[in-house]
Amino acid sequence: MDTVANMLTAIRNAQAVGKPMVAVPYSRLKYDIAKILERKGFVASAEKRSRKIKKTAKTALCLEIGLKYADNVPAIAGCKKVSKPGQRIYVAAGGIKRVKQGRGIGVVSTSKGLMTEYDAKKQNIGGEMLCEVW
């Protein structure tokens, strides 16, 4: 399964019902994407936490994402997974396009780590376009 797509779907579903926070299983990739969303103002917070699993006494790491609202309207109007496991989408530095005429961000996985499409274009680096958020 595509874990990044699952995270985006969890955020979309939680905002649809007005939840203040959503928890998804932790991975470094999802944590980095959530931190980019936090830095750009799409989510309120992104923290790594350990949680107890109900059925067993074990603990597991999870990523808690605090959702952001303005007058009960979610800060994230939409999000889309661009590169999928069945079809990876790679973009050169010159081929990076703005998301929703600059009102959204795209997350690009480059050789220098995850960054927004604006930062990748500024540094003249291409990579795999992971997702778009607006």
User: What was the pLDDT predicted at 60?
Assistant: 85
Phi then psi for residue 105, to 5 deg, are -130, 155
pTM assigned to the model: 0.92
Coil, strand or helix: which one is 38? helix
Percent of the chain with pLDDT over 70: 99
The larger pLDDT score, comparing residue 80 to residue 56, is at 80
**pLDDT range class, residue 62, cuts 50, 70, 90:** very high
Average pLDDT, rounded, for the chain: 94
CA pair distance 74, 68, nearest whole angstrom: 6
CA pair distance 44, 62, nearest whole angstrom: 17
Name 53's Cβ contacts closer than 8 Å, sequence gap at least 6. 59, 60
User: What was the pLDDT predicted at 1?
Assistant: 76
Measured over the CA atoms of residue 87, residue 92, residue 93 and residue 96, the dihedral's sign is: negative
Domain 3-74: assigned CATH number: 3.30.1370.30
Taking a C-beta distance cutoff of 8 angstroms, is the pair 104, 75 a contact? no
Q: Would you kindly state where each structural domain of the chain is located, as residue ranges?
A: 3-74, 79-133
Domain 79-133: assigned CATH number: 3.30.1490.10
